[in-house]
Structure 1
């Protein structure tokens, strides 16, 4: 065995020289210039960065494939150049081994073993292919051409290329779990039931928040044309939104409550609808319309269709009990929560993500927003269900949201009876570094700093002074304690069955 190991380097060197002689005997031609140009294009990863930039223009899996390819290529390049080129010094082929017109000039000065070009090429192509197999197959000949070009131009021995390619493949496999492909979201399910038909809006009272995100001067007139028999009331600056909505819901002859406004306004209307046993018609009048989207009425046409047919479903409602103010003058609030609540840096994360989303797409926007938010943010100390934590984020969703990481986007079921509790903690050593690494590698959902829980009751108290609470986008400072619970099937809302 020892004899075989001692002879192995010599045999490898002999085989390398035979293969290089075979390449040297190839006739000259345009292919020499092609391989020289291809090899130069891959210097310092320029070729792969360029391809990734083009792929990133296509949102979804194609963009994720580009990111995974770059991560794998970066790992392969680092391992090759920092580790193996130091451990395995080797002279590169000499000019006499290849025709002078084919030999690369100037010759690289680093160790020949292993080939960094080959490692990066294979890592990028395989990394892309793990997310988009078709793109990976299309890139395979390019990667193979780059690897071969290093032998054709005399920059490497064939065994250097083989070893570098193996490193690239290993890097792609190692990073496979760093940037996992998200599993498909569950199908949307609604607990359907019948609600009063509202032909031309008969029996419908609509409250319009004039401060809502998409409000315009003609909003009320436009809705009146769509629902000519409905009662419509605008709520302006300085008016009590809750009182005005309650006034609309309690008018004689009203059998359904409609609301035009943002998620905070919709939550207030939901509280009135639940109190007076009225079905709620959510009209997409806010900036983001989270609940309207989840309810199946993201467009005015869908809302009109459901109302005219009496098609509806039931949803759970979050009940939020808030204690705020000074100890000698406390204020107690009872709120309804349709979507989410948060404490800590989550509101800043959402704001940044939504600003970046049109240009980058949802997944990549979430990563960039996460980095920007937590690079300079500070954790908050909170007592959650009696346990003290230092937290970057405390997020509570009314219902199970997907994906199961730091950037939940979709809620397929509105009546699942749970609160979706997510905590990203700073209790662990090197908390900020671990957080940013999890974001970079796409492993936030499985990281030790992420805690995912489903429950039907949550209590939160500040650990070092009053906290700032956001419920359905409405911010409340000076909160001393808050309790969340689930009211199952409390709300009936119009939703088209199709």
Structure 2
């Protein structure tokens, strides 16, 4: 086919598409949409500048249970941002299509303020599709709730007469593509390979017979989770106790149970792990705190996840971090991380404010207060005296899920993830740089290395330290190491 014939054929296809698009638009304008006039224009206005989706994401993060809701909200907003950038920086300028003529659209449907940008593709449809797809990639449940709203926003753009149907379809396709493109760069939790952990022998307890679950009734969502435990495991014994009685309840439960269950936050799980190791019983973790780092690294995000592992007898061996001397004896333990510097003060401030304003707002307030008034500590680390804003020692190497290190792929690697933020001005900038740089890096402001043991000397007696969200106070020296594969814990096995 000659070049002139090809141009003629291409022009013919464009003409046909435009004719189809116009015909469908006219048909939609002339059709009655019962009850839509009270809903679709408002949805269309509410989605301006992404306000509807930002509000939805905030509601998901605040009202949803567990990290999955927060991840879904964050991925939805990030997907929306990618789609908006692609639409406004590239697509709108590449195809300059005029907006539809509004003559056929009833006045009651029209927007009070008409958009002034070009028509192709629909930015509202792209944002709606990107947000809904991003949410669904992390949480099918939230995705099912958001999808009808996203579809309604897309339809509202034709209903109000500001876009042709083809604009909306193209925008929606670009939005879906943006969400999947982001997933290619930042994998979802479900895409990541199952963490490597050595399997362990543990009894199968389908209905919880022989399981005693101790619940810290003052931890996060533990009380609500306890009700779910009773429903999922009717033969289990569930004991609710106050934080002051937790150690005694755990010791008593471990002396009679086949498996020890714990429902609470990371500090509560820490105490249960120490008892389980001493008593030689397997541990099952039911997330019931604010952050639940250890449970999530095991792949347990709901009571159902833990109950499934218990029913099938799937368990693994994991390392237990150790520091000496401990807060109340010769040694203490940590499942997630041990730290010195600004973080212990942040934990104390957060715990002071959390009962009044909630966990997440208290964390933000604590970070602001701590960084504004903090001072670096001086310590001798591995034989060298230095000022430090932060010393972080992770139980296993932390990797990234998104922009921040937050997941461990191996809970039995025998290693400590040691990160140091050196003293100096602008602690906030240094801490941010260390978080972005991630593991195994070095710079004048921070360093990250792997170690089997860390020795810290030259501390001022009473220096605060944090371990799994709890705070203790040091003497002049501390030694941090690990007990390899010391703890047996139930864990769902992903194929």
Q: 1:322 aligns with which of 317, 325, 340?
A: 325
Q: Residues 456 and 183 from structure 1, CA distance in 2 versus in 1: closer, same or farther, beyond 3 angstroms?
A: farther
Q: 2:487 aligns with which of 462, 473, 491?
A: 491
Residue of structure 1 in register with 2:298 after alignment: 295
SS at the partner of 1:199? Answer: coil
Correspondence list, 1:82-161, <5 A: 135-136=85-86, 138-140=88-90
Residue of structure 1 in register with 2:473 after alignment: 477
Does the 8 Å contact 1:258/1:283 carry over to 2?
yes
Q: Deviations over 1:432-485 (max 9, x none)?
A: 248627847986445421110111111223444431011111111354332211
Residue of structure 2 in register with 1:262 after alignment: 265
Q: 2:425 aligns with which of 408, 419, 432?
A: 432
Correspondence list, 1:439-458, <5 A: 439=432, 444-445=437-438, 447-458=443-454
The separation in 2 between residues aligned to 1:283 and 1:424, in whole angstroms, is 33
Q: Residues 459 and 407 from structure 1, CA distance in 2 versus in 1: closer, same or farther, beyond 3 angstroms?
A: farther
Correspondence list, 1:97-246, <5 A: 135-136=85-86, 138-140=88-90, 187-189=193-195, 190-216=197-223, 223-236=229-242, 238-239=244-245, 241-246=246-251
C-alpha displacement at 1:262, in angstroms?
1.6
Q: 1:250 aligns with which of 246, 250, 255?
A: 255
C-alpha displacement at 1:187, in angstroms?
2.8
Q: Residues 369 and 134 from structure 1, CA distance in 2 versus in 1: closer, same or farther, beyond 3 angstroms?
A: farther
- The answer as to 2:270 corresponding to 1:284 is no
Q: Residues 345 and 225 from structure 1, CA distance in 2 versus in 1: closer, same or farther, beyond 3 angstroms?
A: same
Structure 2 unaligned regions, length at least 5: 1-47, 58-72, 96-183, 354-359
Does the 8 Å contact 1:424/1:450 carry over to 2?
yes
SS at the partner of 1:208? Answer: strand
Give the structure-2-normalised TM-score. 0.56
Q: Residues 437 and 342 from structure 1, CA distance in 2 versus in 1: closer, same or farther, beyond 3 angstroms?
A: closer
SS at the partner of 2:297? Answer: helix
Structure 1 unaligned regions, length at least 5: 1-49, 67-131, 146-180, 325-330, 356-361
C-alpha displacement at 1:267, in angstroms?
1.1
Q: Deviations over 1:300-352 (max 9, x none)?
A: 0111111111111111111222266xxxxxx6442221111111112466899
Residue of structure 2 in register with 1:411 after alignment: 408
Instruction: Give the superposed CA RMSD.
Output: 4.2
Q: Residues 375 and 187 from structure 1, CA distance in 2 versus in 1: closer, same or farther, beyond 3 angstroms?
A: farther
C-alpha displacement at 1:234, in angstroms?
2.5
Residue of structure 2 in register with 1:304 after alignment: 307
- The answer as to 2:222 corresponding to 1:272 is no
The separation in 1 between residues aligned to 2:415 and 2:346, in whole angstroms, is 24
SS at the partner of 1:200? Answer: coil
The separation in 2 between residues aligned to 1:343 and 1:440, in whole angstroms, is 18
The separation in 2 between residues aligned to 1:436 and 1:54, in whole angstroms, is 32
Does the 8 Å contact 2:459/2:474 carry over to 1?
no
SS at the partner of 2:212? Answer: strand
Q: Deviations over 1:171-200 (max 9, x none)?
A: xxxxxxxxxx98769633233344101131
Does the 8 Å contact 1:323/1:480 carry over to 2?
no
